[in-house]
Amino acid sequence: MTAEVRTIKTAAEQALAETYAKAKGTLPGAGTIATLRDAAFRQFDAQGLPHRRVEEWKYTDLRALVRDAKPLAAPPDASAKATAGKIAAPFSALKPRQLTVVDGMFVADQSDLTAEAGLRIGSMSEALVRGDALVAAHVGKVFETADPALALNTSLMGDGAVIHVAAGTQVARPIALIFAGTQDAAVFTRSLVVVDKGATVTLIEIHESGSTQVNTALELVAGEGARVDHLKITRAGALHLSTLLARIGARTAFNSFAFTRDSTLVRNQSFVRFAGGNTEAAIGGLSLLKGKEHVDNTLVIEHAAVGGVSRERFRSVLEEQGRAVFQGKIIVAPGAQQTDAKMLSNALLLSDDAEADNKPELEIFADDVQCGHGATAGALDEELLFYLRARGIPRQEAEALLVQAFVGEVIDSLPQDSLREPLMNAAVEWLRARG
């Protein structure tokens, strides 16, 4: 919804156009996929990089923040592939099935592809080339949106993982999807996860992208009565745009959590449609920011069927000149009665130069629903600090305790115990580093 006429292209926009023109012929997939790419690029080109006058990107002005668009990454060499090995270490206790994507390429020899009944795993680029039926049925179709970051991903998508969990399958080990970046280049990864009726899966997405510019997207389809737990952990030294598109079927339990720290410029956007009735969902996030870091968590949650329950809970801790953005839009479609949606966003400002922008929106078209949102922004409670200090705890330690408690509360909302500990450890490590 740009109010103004499209202006002259920025250097980054021009570079993206050149990248697409050059790569077009070699990108995986022909026929309908190529058509999809072309349409998506035209859509992006018409809008350009989103800027502050685009309502959905009001607080993350890419036109101003992205100075250059790097060229596409080359295939990784052996040493690059090896770096991915350690990334999942914090989760080793869970013995996850590890799948590795390095510099935008699915690395089969670094991935655990041992067979398991009801589970099919493959590379996205191969699926695109092959004209895989699952990919053809879902890619670009899970959630309709005109979002420019997604359009860019669709036009340049290279590789990623394709995971299909057949009906009734309970995948025993969590699947860890490791995304590593080692080059001073750009990657556009796209993954598809289809969880059929009554199946269960835990998905841990870990991004360690260094100075690689990342635009990643994950499409998720959860069938009736399924259960999907999704965790995304991000550490990115360069631009990182991430889109989750999800369509959730009836009586499905869906949990999604995004943990972000030590990242220059991150946008995590989730578009979730509860297409079937009586779904249960918890969507959350924790962002830890310092320096001039900028983390944006944007949600569009659409309750399209009756009896959906969703809880959205986001927290951020801001140091120095960190800027945390939370935008959450809950849409209750006509007829989606008995929806119960509650959204809460809290920002803890530890510095005078930090900034927290909150925009929790409700859009409701059904009368028998319960929806609410809350948002707070503020410093640590002086009274609590005083209480602790009166008991002989030095100020810095008292602060650390309170911040840890603040962070702990949202980590506790994760559905599985085993996922909490590694997150809490990472958070504590971050808190220690701030001194």
Q: Which residues bind other proteins (CB under 8 A)?
A: 1, 3, 55, 334-335, 337, 342, 347, 349-379
Closest contact distance (angstroms) between CB of 343 and other proteins is 9
Which one, 170 or 376, has the nearer CB to other proteins? 376
Min CB(218)–other proteins separation in Å: 28
Which of 17/375 has CB closer to other proteins?
Answer: 375
Angstrom distance (rounded) from CA 330 to CA 360: 8
Considering the complex, state which of residue 180 and residue 325 has its C-beta at the smaller distance from other proteins: 325
Query: Which CB sits closer to other proteins, 144 or 367?
Result: 367
Which pairs with CB-CB distance under 8 Å and at least 24 residues apart come from 376-380? Answer: 376/345, 376/346, 376/347, 377/346, 377/347, 377/349, 378/347, 378/348, 378/349, 379/348, 379/349, 379/350, 380/348, 380/350
Tell me the one-letter amino acid at 27: L
Provide, rounded to whole angstroms, the least separation between the CB of residue 280 and other proteins.
18
Phi, psi of 84 (to 5 degrees): -70, -20
Q: How far is the CB of 175 from other proteins (least distance, A)?
A: 36
Q: Which residue number, 18 or 55, has a Cβ lying nearer to other proteins?
A: 55
Question: SS3 letters for the chain?
Answer: CCCCCCCCCCHHHHHHHHHHHHHCCCCCCCCHHHHHHHHHHHHHHHHCCCCCCCHHHCCCCHHHHCCCCCCECCCCCHHHHHHHHHCCHHHHHHCCEEEEEECCEECHHHCCCCCECCEEEEEHHHHHHHCCHHHHHHCCCCCCCCCHHHHHHHHHCCCCEEEEECCCCECCCCEEEEEECCCCCEEEEEEEEEECCCCEEEEEEEEEEECCEEEEEEEEEECCCCEEEEEEEEEECCEEEEEEEEEECCCCEEEEEEEEECCCEEEEEEEEEECCCCCEEEEEEEEEECCCCEEEEEEEEEECCCCCEEEEEEEEEECCCCEEEEEEEEEECCCCCCCEEEEEEEEEECCCCCEEEEEEEEEECCCCCEEEEEEEEECCCHHHHHHHHHCCCCHHHHHHHHHHHHHHHHHCCCCCHHHHHHHHHHHHHHHHHCC
Nearer to other proteins, 32 or 376 (CB): 376
In angstroms, give the least distance from the CB of 415 to other proteins: 23
The least CB distance from residue 358 to other proteins, in Å, is 4
Of residues 218, 236, 230, the one with CA closest to residue 294: 236
Closest CB 111 distance from other proteins, rounded Å: 43
Q: How far is CA 68 from CA 11, 217, 339, in A?
A: 6, 21, 44
**47 vs 215, beta carbon nearer other proteins:** 47
Query: Of 250 and 369, which has the nearer Cβ to other proteins?
Result: 369
Residue among 167 and 400 whose Cβ is closer to other proteins: 400
Complex with other proteins: residue 239 or 371, whichever CB lies closer: 371
Residue 1: CB minimum distance to other proteins, A: 8
Closest distance between other proteins and the C-beta of residue 288, in Å? 16
**Distance in Å, CB of 146 to other proteins, minimum:** 16
CB 265 within 8 A of CB 240: yes
Between 250 and 354, CB nearer to other proteins: 354
- Least separation in angstroms between CB 344 and other proteins: 9
CB of 240 to other proteins, least distance (A): 23
The residue among 147 and 319 lying less far from other proteins, judged by its C-beta, is 319
Question: How many residues are recorded in the chain?
Answer: 435
